[in-house]
Amino acid sequence: MSAVLLLGVVVVAVALILVLVMRFRMHAFVALLIVSFLTALVAGIPPGEVAGVIEEGMGGTLGYIAVVVGLGAMFGELLRITGGAGRIARTLVSSFGEGRIQWALGLTGFLVAIPVFFDVGLIILIPLVYSLAQRYGRSLLFYAIPLLAGLAATHAFIPPTPGPVAVAGIIGADLGWVILWGTVAGLPAVAIGGVLFGRYIASRIHLDVPEAMLREEEESEERDAPSFLLVVSIILVPLFLILLSTLSEALLPEGNAVRSALGLIGHPFTALTLAVLLSFYVLGVRHGYSLDEVQGAASKSLEPVGMIILVTGAGGVFGAVLQESGIGDAIQAVMEASNLPIVVLAFVAAVFVRVSLGSATVAMVTSAAIVAPVIEGGNYSAALIGAVVIATASGATAFSHVNDSGFWLVSRYLGMSEKHTLQSWTVMETIIGFVGFGIVLALSPFL
């Protein structure tokens, strides 16, 4: 089959995924599997080998991602039930003072979303936003947008959240580089999309705290929580170990004993396991939780990640089919002829799926599956592949609108109309996406 026809197969395959999910309301996991089967057959993979390719794609992807996402979910749940996230928020807000509250909220969201999913972080921290809006009389958006920006940026850019972990697993990126570039791109995105845009939009849209939410806040009770330094230290442990391992690979020769040791303790499996064990004991047992309560929380944390893991695995299957069928070689040939940077391809593909489907996770795994064959056949540095993850995440963050569950979650908790949600949340998400992409695009020639 010619390169043009193979590329046509990719376009039709992605379009079919969109139709199945949007028109027929099919779950993304099932849609990705069906399209992977059909693509394999149309692209010329022998029928007797299709099941093997599907199995290899699923197993190869989930062997890494399931462990990281599962451990990250356990870590986040312990932080949630012990009140650690709320402790971070209250400490930063009181330390920064009234004049710099927005910066404190943006940093709070950025830290809390490392181990905690976006929606959970919002539910935990939104009472603080209500309280500040009541105390100082400003628009709710003045405080909410910086917090949302911090949560959204980290959720998109910083492992162990599912999105960047999924993309890294599919394209073979080193999580150390992903964490580094995610931080480099994420903090400016929070500053511009959260703090600066938050001030602008709050001056044009005044929102009061919804009455229903006021009642929820009044009924909530604050629990004794671990200290700020303790919580932050535990959050940073796995990130520090992973980055240390990546740094040792760049500076020390292969076979060096120190590099080997750091490679072991800095592997995401090891680093996150240590963080989970620390959270079990230090946040849980030492703060009065029984072992049964800690284990119950760990088990409960895995419930919401099951579908995320399956969708990610199906994205890996789609990528394996593209690679096995020769479509990856066709995409690579087009890339070489067009001189289009790999980060641009990743960003554009993710934006297209994001706008069409709404789900950031599906946008990430689908676009990663398209980019993976190009990376497999190219000669890209580990640093650049890490930047590709952030470009993909940036595209999957921009243009959130009415087909995105996050759009409605924010609309409900802030009591906004669809128009105001588009003017605030959607614009903020788009700023974060384009700032993140702009930074990795500017860095990419040097990587």
Helix axis angle for 291-301 and 47-81, nearest 10°, is 140
What pLDDT, on the 0 to 100 scale, is given for residue 191? 96
Question: Does 136 have pLDDT greater than 80?
Answer: yes
Q: Cβ of 110: how many Cβ atoms within 10 Å?
A: 26
Residue-wise over 39-62: b if at least 16 C-beta within 10 A, else e?
bbebbebeeeebeebbeebbebbb
Rounded Cα–Cα distance for residues 117 and 360 (Å): 13
Q: Which whole number is the average pLDDT over 362-391?
A: 88
Confidence of residue 334 (pLDDT cuts 50, 70, 90): low
Q: Tell me the whole-structure pTM to 2 decimals.
A: 0.79
Task: Among 138-147, 204-213, 364-373, 422-431, name the one with the lowest average pLDDT.
Answer: 204-213
Rounded Cα–Cα distance for residues 66 and 68 (Å): 6
Residue pair 33/54 in contact by the 8 Å Cβ criterion: yes
Residues 13-57 have pLDDT tens digits of 888 887 887 788 888 888 889 988 998 998 888 999 999 988 888
Q: Which whole number is the average pLDDT over 336-359?
A: 81
Rounded Cα–Cα distance for residues 50 and 56 (Å): 10
DSSP code, position 173: -
What pLDDT, on the 0 to 100 scale, is given for residue 217? 43
Centroid of chain to Cα 423:
23
What pLDDT, on the 0 to 100 scale, is given for residue 21? 79
What pLDDT, on the 0 to 100 scale, is given for residue 222? 45
What pLDDT, on the 0 to 100 scale, is given for residue 387? 96
What pLDDT, on the 0 to 100 scale, is given for residue 1? 60
DSSP code, position 208: P
Residue 349 CB-density burial (10 A; 0-12 exposed, 13-18 middle, 19+ buried): buried
Centroid of chain to Cα 357:
16
Q: Which whole number is the average pLDDT over 392-418?
A: 85
Residues 173-193 have pLDDT tens digits of 999 999 999 999 999 999 999
- The owner of tokens 């703090």 is 195
Residues 402-411 have pLDDT tens digits of 767 788 888 8
